[in-house]
Amino acid sequence: ARLANQIAAGEVVERPASVVKELIENALDAGARAIDVHIEQGGLACLRVRDDGDGIAQDDLPLALARHATSKIHHVDDLEAVATLGFRGEALASIASVSRLTLTSSTDTTGLGWSVRTEGRDMSAVIEPARHPRGTSVEVRDLFFNTPARRKFMRTEATEFRHLEEVVRRLALVSPQVSFSLTHNARVLWQLKPATSEAEMLRRLSHICGPQFVAAAHPLDQEAAGARLHGWLGLPTFSRAQADLQYFFVNGRMVRDKVVSHAVRQAYADVLYHGRHPAFVLFLDIDPGTVDVNVHPTKHEVRFREHRLVHDLIYRGLHRALAEVRP
Ligand code: ADP
Ligand code: MG
């Protein structure tokens, strides 16, 4: 099981940013309203995600770390088999297998909870009482301390932090009702309040995507064919390097997809201008039965059953919105 965890870890835990992604997603799954992310040295020394969600009961703490610690794989030869397995239920176990991890949680408001600590392959976790408000904290220290090959692949602290910040940015965009804070080396970089009104949403968007984007962004909200497409389109006055400001979420999940980018590019080209990278933050809410998102858990792939329909929906939606603002 330990070997399996370490192999799976290689797939799921690519770098500090992937750890933070898994931890924040767990926090969101637990119904958190507030998520605090603390980072030291790009996440390589320490990263901590704390939430105010449902918490984990004392008896379930070891399970959370060992869940699906599969016995299916006994040899490194089986590596290929691992790649085909889903990673559901394996994130915490994988992270624990390549770090010094402390999981602390409380399910009530007594201010008391329980804590369990692991050290890489040493998964013999001891549960101890700990002070903790309702919710969960996961602290990951010395990531890859026991996998030097992986450790060598890490870039500079600044690069790792940039990846990490991008993960927080995406998750903050899809969870406007949740407050987020991000601290790096004791400096508070982000403090996002929950957004419940349009004005608050714009303030939050400004924090996440920059004031220049918001100043040149046109809102869009349309329904067609049982789907809803909403968000903001960057107008040509938005002059910063735009290629990196392209966010498309399908049912709350960030995707990169040829059908999507083609439809977007086409709409921009037909209405506004040619040859530039459009900037956008868009959310498509669509019948989950028509889209397959489980192509790979760590990649941003998606497969639309009816891709022509989706292409049309996006193209028409953007065309109409952009036509409104055409100079
Ligand atoms: P998965 O999320 O796919 O179930 P994980 O390994 O990420 O697998 O987490 C294992 C389990 O630990 C979760 O199913 C959940 O029960 C529990 N858990 C992990 N993180 C949290 C959290 N922040 N709050 C509450 N429960 C959590
Ligand atoms: Mg998870």
ipTM value, please give it.
0.99
The pLDDT of residue 62:
87
Tokens of 61: 């703490």
Interstrand relation of 100-106 and 217-224 (parallel, antiparallel or unpaired): unpaired
The pLDDT of residue 10:
56
Rounded to the nearest angstrom, the distance between the alpha carbon of 150 and the centre of ligand 1 is 24
Rounded to the nearest angstrom, the distance between the alpha carbon of 12 and the centre of ligand 1 is 15
For ligand 1, atom 16, the nearest C-alpha belongs to 64
DSSP state of 178: S
Q: Is 52 in the pocket of ligand 1 (CB under 6 A)?
A: no
The burial of 312, by beta-carbon neighbours within 10 Å (0-12 exposed, 13-18 middle, 19 or more buried), is given as: middle
Q: Is 89 in the pocket of ligand 1 (CB under 6 A)?
A: yes
Pick the atom of ligand 1 nearest to 53's CA: 24
Tracing tokens 């790979």 back to the chain, one arrives at 296
The pLDDT of residue 1:
53
The pLDDT of residue 20:
96
Q: Is 31 in the pocket of ligand 1 (CB under 6 A)?
A: no
Q: Which domains does the chain have, with CATH numbers?
A: 2-192 (3.30.565.10), 210-325 (3.30.230.10)
For each of the chain's 327 residues, which pLDDT tens digit applies?
A: 555 555 555 566 889 999 999 999 999 999 999 999 999 999 999 999 999 999 999 998 988 887 554 433 444 444 433 333 334 678 898 899 999 999 999 999 999 999 999 998 776 678 999 999 999 999 999 999 998 888 888 889 999 999 999 999 999 999 999 999 999 999 999 999 999 999 999 999 999 999 988 988 899 999 988 899 999 998 766 555 555 789 999 988 888 889 999 999 899 888 876 546 788 999 999 988 888 766 565 567 778 888 888 999 999 999 999 888 876
Alpha carbon separation from 52 to 26, 55, 66, 204, 248 (Å, rounded) = 11, 8, 23, 20, 28
Cα 12 to the center of its chain, rounded Å: 13
The pLDDT of residue 126:
82
Q: Is 24 in the pocket of ligand 1 (CB under 6 A)?
A: no
Rounded to the nearest angstrom, the distance between the alpha carbon of 263 and the centre of ligand 2 is 32
The pLDDT of residue 41:
96
Rounded to the nearest angstrom, the distance between the alpha carbon of 107 and the centre of ligand 1 is 14
Rounded to the nearest angstrom, the distance between the alpha carbon of 90 and the centre of ligand 2 is 7
For ligand 1, atom 11, the nearest C-alpha belongs to 64
